[in-house]
């Protein structure tokens, strides 16, 4: 493990020197690619260092567990911990022991979950870097085209296409969108990809606590308010957006809304895609479906042009609800580009806003057919 880190550091230093030299070369595409590769190697190095620190912590905890088992004269457990510690030091891998030792299994699960999150963060960084690289190449392609350098422009386009068609990129994309190590394969490989907001803002400056699994818990000021969230989607093609309104004991009457009875009224559900620097283009919906809608407050009201209509769920408060909003046409999102959601709450009482929710996307041709 130590040799791998040293090798990675040396490789990063070498590539950085190459990229600096290429910045002054005549070939801008080569310069972009070298810089891109240097950033990828930096992300890999960061991952290796984080995993090394995590591994040291894991070994330290195994040492403590070994001492506890030995002091209590439980030789079977002590041997299981001893074997696991030595195996991890030699191979850098976790292997579940045969002994019935819940404390060891908890340690192993904590390590594996933490290692998963470190790898997922690298995957998300790779997605962002790839999006930036794709945009830089697109700018170069336009420049070459304007100069009638068509052959060079075509080579740039081929390079752009190769960025997001490799098996490795596909693995990074799936890992970046995975919600947790203990999720079933269907949750990772299936049609719905949970999004973790990069930001949450409202005109009333309500607070949105963003959890690791993409869940947003809202607190603070109440009133007629609009939640504005931005994401970097894990998919390049989006056909539908899913909103999970989640119950929680911290909300009035268990939520999922912030009204006194746990209800909410979502008057408008609007989706935008980044179209330029600080510019957004609205994306239309063709339909919506929900597991339950309050009488006279159907989910379709959240995507019409009437700000007085909307989706509500009374009297079925205190429980989870789900709505799926189907795009009018599949949305193509370049890697690294942002999308934005604006959830408008205009109900007259001013307190009928969502309290806890999660957003997912899909590229399935028929999202309602595989609804979870």
HEC-encoded secondary structure of the chain: CHHHHHHHHHHHHHHHHHHHHHCCCCCHHHHHHHHHHHHHHHHHHHHHHHHHHHHHHHHHHHHHHHHHHHHCCCHHHHHHHHHHHHHHHHHCCCCCCCCCCHHHHHHHHHHHHHHHHHHHHHHHHHHHHHHHHHHHHHHHHHHHHHCCCHHHHHHHHHHHHHHCCCHHHHHHHHHHHCCCCCCCHHHHHCCCEEECCCEEECCCCCEEEECCCCCEEEECCCCCEEEEEEECCCCCEEEEEEEEECCCCCCHHHCCECCCCCCCCECEEEEEEEEECCEEEEECEEEEEECCCECCECHHHHCCCCCCCCECCCCCCCCCEEEEEEEEEEEECCCCCCEEEEEEECCCCCCCCECEEEEEEECCCCHHHHCC
The domain made up of 192-370 is a member of CATH 3.40.190: no
pLDDT of residue 236: 79
pLDDT of residue 251: 96
Q: Give pLDDT tens digits for 252-299.
A: 999 999 999 999 999 999 999 998 777 899 999 999 999 899 999 999
Q: Give pLDDT tens digits for 196-205.
A: 898 999 999 9
Q: Give pLDDT tens digits for 97-132.
A: 545 567 777 777 778 778 888 888 898 899 888 888
pLDDT band at 188, cuts 50/70/90?
A: very low
Q: Give pLDDT tens digits for 305-327.
A: 888 899 999 999 999 999 999 99
- Name the least confident of 179-183, 207-211, 334-338, 364-368: 179-183
Domain coordinates in residue numbering, the chain:
2-188, 192-370
């Amino acid at each position: 493990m130590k040799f791998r880190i040293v090798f990675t550091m040396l490789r990063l230093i070498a590539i950085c020197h190459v990229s600096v030299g290429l910045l002054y070369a005549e070939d801008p595409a080569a310069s972009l690619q070298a810089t891109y590769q240097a950033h990828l190697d930096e992300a890999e190095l960061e991952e290796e260092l984080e995993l090394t620190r995590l591994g040291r912590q894991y070994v330290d905890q195994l040492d403590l567990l070994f001492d506890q088992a030995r002091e209590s004269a439980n030789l079977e457990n002590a041997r299981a911990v001893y074997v696991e510690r030595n195996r991890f030091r030699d191979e850098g891998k976790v292997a579940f022991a045969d002994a019935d030792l819940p404390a060891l299994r908890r340690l192993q699960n904590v390590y594996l979950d933490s290692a998963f999150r470190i790898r997922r963060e690298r995957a998300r960084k790779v997605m962002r870097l790839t999006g930036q690289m794709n945009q830089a190449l697109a700018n170069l392609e336009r420049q070459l085209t304007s100069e009638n350098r068509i052959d060079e422009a075509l080579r740039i386009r081929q390079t752009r296409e190769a960025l997001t068609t490799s098996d490795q990129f596909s693995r990074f994309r799936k890992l970046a969108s995975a919600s947790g190590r203990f999720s079933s394969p269907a949750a990772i490989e299936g049609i719905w990809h949970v999004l973790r907001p990069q930001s949450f803002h409202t005109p009333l400056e309500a607070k949105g606590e963003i959890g690791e699994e993409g869940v947003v818990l809202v607190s603070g000021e109440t009133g007629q308010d609009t939640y504005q969230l931005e994401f970097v989607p894990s998919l390049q093609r989006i056909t539908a957006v899913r909103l999970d309104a989640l119950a929680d004991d911290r909300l009035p009457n268990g939520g999922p809304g912030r009204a006194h009875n746990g209800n909410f009224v979502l008057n408008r559900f609007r989706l935008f895609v980044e179209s330029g620097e600080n510019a957004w283009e609205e994306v239309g919906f063709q339909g919506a479906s929900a597991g339950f809608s309050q009488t006279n407050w159907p989910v379709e009201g959240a995507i019409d042009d009437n700000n007085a209509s909307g989706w509500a769920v009374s009297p079925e408060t205190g429980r989870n609800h789900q709505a799926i909003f189907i795009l009018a046409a599949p949305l193509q999102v370049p890697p690294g580009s942002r999308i934005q959601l604006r959830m408008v709450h205009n109900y007259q009482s001013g307190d009928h806003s969502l309290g806890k929710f999660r957003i997912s996307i899909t590229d399935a041709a028929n999202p309602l057919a595989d609804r979870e």
